[in-house]
Structure 1
């Protein structure tokens, strides 16, 4: 009897442990299946009856994460990232990536960008929600990442400012700031890369806030740090690839504190620029500007609150200054690597302005300097400062050339691949843009300002800003390498000199021209000063 009882007890225990193990295993497997189902990207989900998704090929990934880990590894180094984006063109004009719970379709050719972003912009104009980059870090207020409903108000405000007759008045500010740029180059040549940033920030500061820039180098570096941190955050954190995690209780979101702190730092940094302007508006001493006349004016129809206005103003200054800064660094790199096109550009400017330093080129010379206009476009194409344009999300199912994309697909302009979609793409050749018609249209054939409804509203401002800087620097200065460099490694976010350069004023006549113009515009002393 005892033996029978012991046997039954042992059998029961074994059965209990086996059941527990099987239950735990079932729960574990069920959890994995549930997680995979929750985070399954669109193109892996079954469509409604009668449809079948068909997407372009793409690289293999790993379970759950797809291609996110490859993408994140490549982003750690700018050269590796450029090579990674370039390699995706091997799949064709489009490449499908499984990015966490998202479906990305990279657009690798100028043709498909035109077709899907421009011609079908009514379908592909939305932005996907980014709970970290837009939510925690930007407090929902960086307008170019906002959903279309909110973004449209900001777009309306900026459209009137940065187009039409406003562009001409901006050109006058650009001429003044470019004179200070030349004088700063002349008197403090070792800080050439810092002069690029001050030039681009000064311009946007006047347009948006109405005042000449009097910030210290430290304050500018802090702003650039904010911009750099934000850019690295876009598609640079895992949570935005699994936005469903944002629905978890806050106690189960350990990442929140880190990104909320970053958002607080950004808010406080913007506030130091915004509050003085608000005070001058309240005192009636503010100069005409977007902030005074639209964002803070009670008579306008701008619907946003104070934070909305601040982020709109400071985001415009940030984007409108950092991208031109990087393009100007590329300009210098191209001058070192390909001196022949710059010799041709100088000959063209000499023909118009006189080789004897008769006068500086100005905005009105754009129609007379087609090669210089083409050079601006080639700088943007050759080493794009924005290698990948933030994604456009489709608002409905989309058929295109035999493919069927589900609603919610995120179309991404591959700026690197699109820039290489040219014959002999690695060479720096402004001639590729000379067609007698579109040299001065910087968005024609280029997608680095975005496209469709979401195209950067300030691209014309950026074009004249770069045209003036490039034409005047070419006219007045010679560039030479001051040490070894790699023209693939531009170190855009490096704190010091991005690559070694020696620049000298062309001759005493051009030196005198610069000093005379700087005195005329009243910027000579500020150009000499070390802030």
Structure 2
């Protein structure tokens, strides 16, 4: 290595260190010194607590909270981080969440989500309200959910037929539940968003899309060192930024193809009508078509925001990735819990038989009549939330809390997983799978997952909670009901239900099973119910 190159590397590293120290001293000097920071562990020099997070940060934070209290303070590089780990702390901080309404700057949102353009990372303002309104009116309203239920019904029926055929052809073989459920959920969502099925038409394309979604969730939820240590972005020591940029190019190419196809179809169709003029009885459109129509008619939101192609791509990517990942993982967790608790599975099947019978499949109209099934869904969400740690928020001003200072610019990570195990809220065996706690007469019969019950926040809370919650609840309920009603389930190789591995593995934003669920379906309905 030449002296010139060595000098250049030394200069760059020295500059990065200077930037780090400058940012650290600026952060310290800008704090009002009248209040201490919340308690928490000491970290390493420069990197802070980042090297100690471990493979499952939600579990690490939970363990630390038992030593330091339910509001943790940690230092990630030069960034202050607070982690609420109890329902009481979460409620007091986020009941009015305007002090934590925005997201911090991070590499995932910059390099994957079109430079902070998706609904999850947009700053609070007109553009965010426009996307939120678009979803509320056209995708997740009660009417929209009803309009698109035929597509979901057909995809769930295809899943049941596939599993039933597999059980006949390979009587002793176990099904890969993760793969089967992911294909069903992915097709249901792609019909809703894009008007076509993502899987089965081209299996290689479907598998590639699933891998892209898994990569997106892993990268978006990763702790990128350059987000916390100024001056390291160019070095990309973990290689994460390069992977983020590559993934964005893949999604961009994929989505551009669909936008071009939909524009061509609209150009060949009859003259466009505005959403307000559209006949309510016409065949429901996919979300991409609706967004292109709104873009064509130049409709603006109250704040003057307009839809751009980048907005459309960012929203489609966020909704598909989050929806397909969370629903397929949750359905796998729900079935695993039912297999591990055969008495609860038998009770659920008895309830389903009494409402649905054994000569047809479950429909969405049956769901409100199935209280035990709904309790099973809630208990799954409590123990296995789709995101164990919420998307980060940032303090927009200095906050005083219980005699501590939460400085402006502090990142807030809500430990949803720990809150679901908070013994002050869940005193009756909080680690056990007990759906009865949500049934009438149970301690938590009034608890719902929609953000107002702070001991149970699987979709977050406040203005930045998950926009797709209503669709997610409906799909998870229908998937759980369908799998429980249509089949009896046996583990391979004579494995006992109580021995089923329930270890979890963090994948960025998601909570996976450490060991994918393999189980053998045995049809239990009348033959004609399977089509």
- TM tier relative to shorter chain: 0.7 to 0.9
The whole-number CA distance in structure 1 between the counterparts of 2:177 and 2:150 is 23
Q: Contact between 2:501 and 2:515, CA under 8 Å: does it hold in 1?
A: no
Q: Is the alpha carbon distance of 1:279 and 1:240 closer, same or farther for their aligned partners in structure 2, counting shifts above 3 Å?
A: farther
Match of 2:279?
Answer: none
Match of 1:431?
Answer: 436
Post-superposition offset of 1:307: 2.4
Report Cα offsets for 1:157-205 as digits up to 9, x if no partner. 1121212322332444433322222222212353432221122122222
- 499, 502, 510: which one aligns with 1:487: 502
- For the residue of structure 2 that corresponds to 1:123, the secondary structure is helix
Alignment length (residue pairs): 471
Match of 1:503?
Answer: 521
Alignment map for 1:226-305 (pairs within 5 Å): 226-234=212-220, 235-242=222-229, 259-284=244-269, 288-297=285-294, 298-299=296-297, 300-301=299-300, 303-305=306-308
Q: Contact between 1:442 and 1:463, CA under 8 Å: does it hold in 2?
A: no
Match of 1:100?
Answer: 77
Report Cα offsets for 1:418-476 as digits up to 9, x if no partner. 12122322211111222466467555552121211111111111111111111122111
Stretch moving more, 148-157 or 283-292: 283-292
The whole-number CA distance in structure 1 between the counterparts of 2:399 and 2:506 is 38
- Runs (4+) of structure 1 moved beyond 6 Å? 28-31, 250-255, 490-497
The whole-number CA distance in structure 1 between the counterparts of 2:404 and 2:164 is 56
Richer in helix (by share): 1
Post-superposition offset of 1:287: 6.5
Report Cα offsets for 1:89-127 as digits up to 9, x if no partner. 31322211111121111111223223323x121211110
Alignment map for 1:337-486 (pairs within 5 Å): 337-354=340-357, 357-421=358-422, 422-423=426-427, 424-435=429-440, 438=446, 443=451, 444=453, 445-483=455-493, 485-486=500-501
The whole-number CA distance in structure 1 between the counterparts of 2:31 and 2:514 is 52
Q: Is the alpha carbon distance of 1:276 and 1:53 closer, same or farther for their aligned partners in structure 2, counting shifts above 3 Å?
A: farther
Match of 1:188?
Answer: 166
Post-superposition offset of 1:378: 1.0
Q: Contact between 1:373 and 1:439, CA under 8 Å: does it hold in 2?
A: no
Match of 2:31?
Answer: 47
The whole-number CA distance in structure 2 between the counterparts of 1:108 and 1:387 is 11
Report Cα offsets for 1:340-366 as digits up to 9, x if no partner. 222221122222223xx1443332333
The whole-number CA distance in structure 1 between the counterparts of 2:58 and 2:109 is 25
TM-score by length of 2: 0.80
Match of 1:56?
Answer: 38
Q: Contact between 1:127 and 1:393, CA under 8 Å: does it hold in 2?
A: yes
Alignment map for 1:110-259 (pairs within 5 Å): 110-117=87-94, 119-130=95-106, 132-140=107-115, 141-149=117-125, 150-161=127-138, 162-188=140-166, 190-213=175-198, 215-234=201-220, 235-242=222-229, 259=244
The whole-number CA distance in structure 1 between the counterparts of 2:88 and 2:63 is 18
Q: Is the alpha carbon distance of 1:457 and 1:258 closer, same or farther for their aligned partners in structure 2, counting shifts above 3 Å?
A: closer
Q: Contact between 2:178 and 2:329, CA under 8 Å: does it hold in 1?
A: no
- For the residue of structure 2 that corresponds to 1:148, the secondary structure is coil
- For the residue of structure 2 that corresponds to 1:39, the secondary structure is helix
- For the residue of structure 1 that corresponds to 2:100, the secondary structure is coil
The whole-number CA distance in structure 2 between the counterparts of 1:255 and 1:504 is 43
Q: Is the alpha carbon distance of 1:34 and 1:272 closer, same or farther for their aligned partners in structure 2, counting shifts above 3 Å?
A: closer
Match of 2:47?
Answer: 65
Report Cα offsets for 1:361-380 as digits up to 9, x if no partner. 33233332111111011112
The whole-number CA distance in structure 2 between the counterparts of 1:491 and 1:396 is 31
The whole-number CA distance in structure 1 between the counterparts of 2:461 and 2:513 is 31
TM-score by length of 1: 0.80
The whole-number CA distance in structure 2 between the counterparts of 1:454 and 1:261 is 28
Q: Contact between 2:379 and 2:434, CA under 8 Å: does it hold in 1?
A: yes
The whole-number CA distance in structure 2 between the counterparts of 1:35 and 1:496 is 37
Match of 1:109?
Answer: 86
The whole-number CA distance in structure 2 between the counterparts of 1:251 and 1:360 is 51
Q: Contact between 1:85 and 1:416, CA under 8 Å: does it hold in 2?
A: no
Rg (Cα) greater in structure: 1
- For the residue of structure 2 that corresponds to 1:291, the secondary structure is helix
The runs of 5 or more residues in structure 2 that have no matched partner are: 1-12, 168-174, 271-282
Q: Is the alpha carbon distance of 1:399 and 1:294 closer, same or farther for their aligned partners in structure 2, counting shifts above 3 Å?
A: same
Q: Is the alpha carbon distance of 1:495 and 1:345 closer, same or farther for their aligned partners in structure 2, counting shifts above 3 Å?
A: closer
Q: Is the alpha carbon distance of 1:252 and 1:375 closer, same or farther for their aligned partners in structure 2, counting shifts above 3 Å?
A: closer
- For the residue of structure 2 that corresponds to 1:385, the secondary structure is coil
Q: Is the alpha carbon distance of 1:136 and 1:272 closer, same or farther for their aligned partners in structure 2, counting shifts above 3 Å?
A: same
The runs of 5 or more residues in structure 1 that have no matched partner are: 1-27, 516-531
Aligned pair 1:512/2:518, yes or no?
no
